Structure 1
């Protein structure tokens, strides 16, 4: 190669080699290379398209993640266990009703024995195996639904397009994508970047007053649970810091209230700042739009599901200061109360919120209902003991079950067999009629008779029709005449072949005490339609003696525990019988009533009768009749002949 050729080749290599670009000098303008005939464009269009794509992708990913989380929560919802237990209890109720019908219609001993075996099985609580199996079935069904929806959206248009030629079905994909994007955009999901699967925006509750005056908090001031380390203010109790796992779960979901409420079409219900105190969690709810307190109560199960409340934890929806305010109570805690009865104990029992005693009037007629094992008999003992300890009052105990009555013999008039109950009720009815004739005013001023019927269903099934009618009359007219009826049953129904309380007795009661019952139907009878939302069917099984009192508010009352030993230590009393001397009260304070009774008896006897006949006709004691005749003779209304056996005559 000649020298000129070698030089030319080196020049060609130098021009073809990559030359490093030098950066612009400091302060110099960048050099822009242009091509003739072309307009120099910027990257704004491509940048906007990229940002929009990233925004749309983030919305779609967030929507898919949110709906996947919703599906997961729906499948693993705590409400599944609640539904499974309700279904198991409904099955037991159907079995019990079927067994009772078979027992009533059984003609042979074998049929009746078989029905009794089935009835005994139907009295048991649902087994955990059955509940677990039902939970598995419900969750499997929900999982199948959650899998079927996306599968149908993805595969359905492909099948219809290939098999049927329906190309328009492919529009389902952009429609679903648009739906997810719009949902996330409406929910205000951040779109500056990709949203991690399972993450969701946290909606913090608006700050509110920690303890509003109308909030149902009895003592102390609970700290805000949104503050992880609240500091107690001067003069306040130290904050509650030991939170259980279930409380942590509820509080975490309360922080996402706005998002969760929107997903469940409850945007008109807004939650304030939750507070944790010695009774659990409470939060104020503000209602707007079409939401009313009654509508919120109907959606209580949905609220429990949304917050992940444990199945055995009670919730209460209380009235707020205004019609558009409510307070949601989640009873994750309870007071440690000493409910041992003593002679100084007062009332039915203690309010589980305040620890204060709750009482009713001695003159109030009462319905007490509760399932077997709920502590119904124990709930009555404090009131029965008070009657025994009151000198002038008498206790009459119609114990159709024959179990509790043996403890009260020697302290009350006890009847257990149907014949004994018929006899005692007949005497009570005659006493009510006698007192009505002897009354001067509108209220009886003499000794009070407290009549306890337990079990009402057995009485209605086994006693004579005349006895049942007499009890209806006593429930309607006995209160003003000093005869108070208290009806107890574990089957609070008014219809069917064997009702627990007669439909003509229920409207006459003044108080309704309801312990744990089996169903919402029993709750409506036990507390009335107005207070059935207390939900006594959700009282825990282990809470024996705990009850709701209609009209007292949805606050549990824990009854006094008066055991057999305490009953045996009550003072002994002579049992009441019709026609007996009602102590000095009748002789001293009721002689005016005896005058009316004697006058009526003389008129019924044709104008004359002996003193012994007047005692038998009026039911008053001989001394009361003698005093009444003396006063009537002094007033010139009756007279008697000189003979000792001469009858008294009405002038």
Structure 2
């Protein structure tokens, strides 16, 4: 039994050599035709004749040289010319004979016997000579030669030995047993050439929680891209179902590929229902779902901007709810729902916005909260917000963009939320059925999409949507996820690898059980400090209250004005810079102070002048309008 196991283990290692032997033997056999044989015999005759003529010409040249001492004599010149012509004819006939031998080669067995005889005969003679002299190394030459012959014959026999994969796991289906047998190296090498896969060799396959996995050695000119392009041929060789998901990825070493067949799902025995217990202890991550190949829990950053894509019917809303519930439990959340159905479930739990005026108010208040936190962080001298996270969730971005695409102010604030809000604890999450950035109805704005670094995609419509949904990981091919209820909530995470993830799900009742927490913006200005001076107390043999010293007469000074409501961050920065100046300020100084682009400052100044917040003199200097003086 052990010897049989050892032979089964050695057979795949010798299979490539046996396959090359058979291929070479078959090539030689096909060349050994009657036509090539006649050409070889004719070439041999021509060569023998040419060689004879060359020998005669060389002899005549020697005779002419001996008969005349004059190298310019007609006899010697004639003999020399004839000798050269005969030599050229001989060389041409030799080249033709080589081609004829190549076209009619000896059989591979005869060639191997010739090679082995070349070393066997001398080694036998050497052993006989050493035996006659009584040398200690008497049998070594012949033994080494015999060992070489035996190794070649044994490798050929092992390579041709048919090995059938033994399926010991009774839990395997008939399909899995067939795939395991056809992935066996012996079967693969014997039939790979029929499908144009000659030069590839599999390793013994293994059954994993996510299906069948095996490595494939890529010999010769094969590389990963070329092997991936042969996926149809691989499926035909294995006899796999068209709907069976097959994945070809790179291995841990060059020259190898990993072939995975998703005959099972590692998430099959794990409940998909999300509960608050699934919120990780680490506050920086949240749980997305389960890896269907390994069964591992997949975590994503909690404080990162997120894009979730999925066509209608792929379970996008149910898959998105667990992430929203995590954001709701850990901080504050605002749901801006373009369609309204999802808001029906969440309106009793968190802040929702469905109608146009609700949407604009939610965008304005989230942007104002981001600006307020910026001032708070500056006053406290910190670079990252250390309070509760405010998560702004856009559900169906295509509808939201269609509603505000003509409102440039709201659109700009939404763009600033995606680009500036993360460090201030205001994080934008975006969900859409149409992950495209171009056209008349984009699902995500082209200036917002680059800021959404964490991307998860369920099945989408095509390659264009896949490119936006997963960016540089579009080769995961989310558009090729099979349709059907069993694949709802299944998708790919950018940067995680082309392994499918089954997300957690949360139904309507699960949402309603969450504790209510309706976010409202904080006051933008802190409470004023109490006026007047504190009373003074002198304690000496009793407690006497002394009246505070009289305040000096009030001197009227410049009045501090709060920033007008509804300004963007750029407009607020320009207005604050001009206010803080002692006098008129030049526009180029505003560019330096704010750090904004010249074009942005120019447009912002024009808008503030038109709104009456700034005054522009004839020399181009800027000053605050009446009532805009800072303290």
TM-score, normalised to structure 1, is: 0.53
Cα shift readout 1:145-167 (whole Å, capped 9, x = no counterpart): xxxxxxxxxxxxxxxxxxxxxxx
Matched, 1:381 2:321: yes
**In the alignment, which residue of structure 1 is the partner of 2:211?**
280
Q: Which of 270, 277, 295 is residue 337 of structure 1 equivalent to? A: 270
The residue aligned with 1:430 is 368
Equivalence for 1:640: none
Q: Residues 464 and 311 from structure 1, CA distance in 2 versus in 1: closer, same or farther, beyond 3 angstroms? A: same
The question of 1:351 aligning with 2:291 is answered yes
- Is contact 2:215-2:256 (8 Å) kept? yes
Contact kept, 8 Å, 1:400 with 1:418, in 2: the verdict is no
1:440-480 C-alpha deviation (Å, 9 max, x unpaired): 33222233210111101111222243233322221111111
Offset of 1:343 from its aligned partner? 1.5
**Pair 363,278 (structure 1): closer, same or farther in 2 beyond 3 Å:** closer
Q: 1:329 to 1:352 in 2, by over 3 A?
A: same
Q: Please tell me whether Structure 1 or Structure 2 has the larger radius of gyration of its CA atoms.
A: 2
Q: 1:270 to 1:395 in 2, by over 3 A?
A: same
Q: Distance in 2 between matches of 1:423 and 1:334?
A: 45
Counterpart position of 1:566: 510
Taking only aligned residues, the RMSD between alpha carbons, in angstroms, comes to 3.9
Indicate the residue corresponding to 1:398 in structure 2. Answer: 336
Match of 1:608 in 2: 559
State the Cα distance separating 1:311 from its structure 2 match: 2.1
The equivalent residue for 1:486 is: 429
- 1:459 corresponding residue in structure 2: 400
Secondary structure at the residue paired with 2:275?
A: coil
* Per-residue deviation, 1:489: 0.9
Q: For 1:614 and 1:206, how far apart are their aligned partners in 2?
A: 86
Indicate how the Cα distance of structure 1 residues 509 and 363 shifts in structure 2: closer, same or farther if over 3 A, else same. Answer: same
Contact 1:382 / 1:562 at 8 angstroms: preserved in 2?
Answer: yes
Matches for 1:93-132 after TM superposition, within 5 Å: none
Distance change (3 Å), C-alpha of 1:301 and 1:578: farther
Aligned-pair CA distance for 1:385 = 0.9
Distance, in Å, in 2 between the alignment partners of 1:581 and 1:430 is 8
| Conservation of the 8 A alpha-carbon contact between 1:536 and 1:548 | no
CA shift in 2, pair 1:608/1:499, >3 Å: same
Which of 244, 249, 253 in structure 1 is aligned with 2:182? 253
Compute the displacement of 1:324 (Å).
1.9
Cα distance in structure 2, aligned partners of 1:443 and 1:472: 20
Q: Secondary structure at the match of 1:528?
A: helix
Return the offset for 1:548: 1.3
Report which stretch shifted further, 532-541 or 517-526: 532-541
| Distance of aligned partners of 1:535 and 1:650 in 2 relative to their CA distance in 1, 3 Å threshold | closer
Distance 2:262 2:164 in 1: 18
Task: Give the equivalent residue in structure 2 for 1:418.
Answer: 356
Q: What per-residue deviation string (whole Å, max 9, x for no partner) do you get for residues 108-143 of structure 1? A: xxxxxxxxxxxxxxxxxxxxxxxxxxxxxxxxxxxx
Give the Å deviation of 1:418. Answer: 3.0
Preserved CA contact (<8 Å) 2:210 2:294: no
Q: Provide closer, same or farther for how the CA distance between residues 297 and 439 of structure 1 changes in structure 2, counting only shifts above 3 A.
A: farther
Deviates more, 1:329-338 or 1:253-262: 253-262
Whether contact under 8 Å (2:335, 2:394) holds in the other structure is yes
CA distance in 2, matches of 1:365, 1:292: 37
SS at 1:486 equivalent:
strand
Could you tell me which residue of structure 1 aligns to residue 234 of structure 2? 303
Give how far 1:614 is off: 8.3
* 1:544 correspondence with 2:488: yes
1:515: which partner in 2?
A: 458
Residue 345 of structure 2, aligned match among 400, 407, 422: 407
Alignment partner for residue 503 of structure 1, among 441, 446, 454?
446
Cα 1:470/1:252, change in 2 over 3 Å: same
1:530 to 446, 450, 473: 473
Post-superposition offset of 1:380? 1.2
Distance 1:528 1:300 in 2: 24
Q: Determine the structure 1 residue equivalent to 2:411.
A: 468
CA distance in 1, matches of 2:466, 2:426: 27
Task: Spell out, residue by residue over 1:265-300, the C-alpha distance to the aligned partner (whole angstroms, 9 max, x if none).
Answer: 333432111223443211101223333323333433
* Equivalent residue number for residue 582 of structure 2: none
Q: Which residue of 2 aligns with 1:553?
A: 497
**In structure 2, do the counterparts of structure 1 residues 502 and 279 end up closer, same or farther at CA, with 3 Å as the change threshold?**
same
Structure 1 counterpart SS, 2:371: helix
C-alpha distance 571-442 of structure 1, shift in aligned 2 (>3 A): same
Deviations 1:414-443 (A, max 9, x none): 111233222211222232233333323322
Distance 1:342 1:428 in 2: 28
The verdict on how the C-alpha distance between 1:420 and 1:297 changes in structure 2, with shifts beyond 3 A counting, is: farther
SS in 2 for 1:450: strand
Q: Which blocks of at least 5 consecutive residues in structure 1 are unaligned?
A: 1-54, 61-178, 187-202, 208-224, 231-239, 588-605, 620-646
Q: The residue matched to 1:484 in structure 2 has which SS?
A: strand
Query: Distance in 2 between the 1:413 and 1:204 partners?
Result: 72
| Cα pair 1:434 1:618 within 8 Å, conserved | no
In the alignment, structure 1 residue 244 sits paired with structure 2 residue 188: no
Structure 1 match to 2:70? none
- Residues in 1 aligned to 2:301 and 2:460: alpha-carbon distance in whole angstroms: 25
Unaligned runs of 5+ in 2: 1-24, 31-102, 110-156, 280-286, 528-556, 569-626
Aligned residues: 382
**CA distance in 1 between partners of 2:558 and 2:260 (Å):** 70
Counterpart in the other structure of 1:449: 390
For the pair 1:266 / 2:183, whether they are aligned, the reply is no
Name the CA distance, whole Å, in 2 between partners of 1:289 and 1:409.
63
SS in 2 for 1:401: coil
Distance, in Å, in 1 between the alignment partners of 2:433 and 2:289 is: 20
Measure, in 2, the Cα distance between the counterparts of 1:354 and 1:340: 19
User: Given the superposition, is the C-alpha separation of residues 268 and 452 from structure 1 closer, same or farther in structure 2, using an over 3 Å criterion?
Assistant: farther
**Counterparts of 2:427 and 2:458, CA distance in 1:** 21
Cα distance between partner residues in 2 of 1:413 and 1:399: 11
- Give the deviation of 1:247 after TM superposition: 2.3
Q: Which TM-score applies when normalising by structure 2?
A: 0.54
Q: Distance in 2 between matches of 1:413 and 1:476?
A: 22
Pairwise CA distance, 1:260: 4.0
C-alpha offsets along residues 476-509 of structure 1, whole Å, 9 cap, x if unaligned?
A: 1111111111111111122222121122211111
SS at match of 2:300: coil
Indicate the SS of the match to 1:429: helix
